[in-house]
Amino acid sequence: MDSYIAHQHKCLKNIHRVIKNANDILCGISQPSVCSEVLLSSQGTDYISGVVEVYRVSQRMEGGMISLNIGNERLRLILRDIDLAWNNLQAFLSLCPCVLQMMPPPSALNCKTAGPLSETKRCLHRCCGVCLIVRLTEEQLVTEPTERMLMYEGTLYHPSCANFWLHCVDPSLPALLCHGNCHLCLKPNEKI
């Protein structure tokens, strides 16, 4: 479990850094008209869209932590810092209503699950290697097509999670190993 916590902490620290940098950049613009011009430019809207996607990765990670019952004070503190930075950024963006209209509704950012998963769904081979959210079933993919995952070297990833990891955390994607007694990973004649 310690390796999962270290993995989560490393990624969450970088998410916080990205959102904090966005705050610093936007808050450093002293003229509201210049800020609006920057945010409404194609590069500005692409930048804000990227920051929104980074925040969405943090929400997925929090959902993965809940679903796998990973409780750690360091992780809770960094998640709190991310939410504070996100709220500050949203407060700043509220000064530019046209940009707020481009933001997804809060429900689109909520990737948290209802609670811990049953043991049959905890297999890490069924989770995104970055956020630890369990892969949706084919029926769920019909209603949530944006949740498609890709497989790389035997590990599943959400494209945005893999993209964030590769560009902001480490040039190699994480490969999480399932715990040794996962009955979904054991061969039929192996015993726990």
With cut-offs at 50, 70 and 90, classify the pLDDT of residue 105.
low
Structure-token pair, residue 15: 């998410």
How far apart, in whole angstroms, are the C-alpha atoms of residue 192 and residue 115?
26
Structure-token pair, residue 134: 């369990």
What are the two backbone dihedrals, phi and then psi, of residue 63, each rounded to the nearest 5 degrees?
-65, -40
Cβ-based burial of 5 (10 A; exposed 0-12, middle 13-18, buried ≥19):
middle
Predicted TM-score of the model (pTM)? 0.80
Q: Which one-letter amino acid corresponds to residue 46?
A: D
Say whether pLDDT at 190 is over 50: no
How far apart, in whole angstroms, are the C-alpha atoms of residue 41 and residue 48?
11
Q: What is the pLDDT of residue 104?
A: 63
Domain ranges of the chain: 2-169
Higher-pLDDT residue of 169 and 134 is: 169
> Quick check: 182 and 122 in contact, CB under 8 A?
yes
How far apart, in whole angstroms, are the C-alpha atoms of residue 16 and residue 14?
5
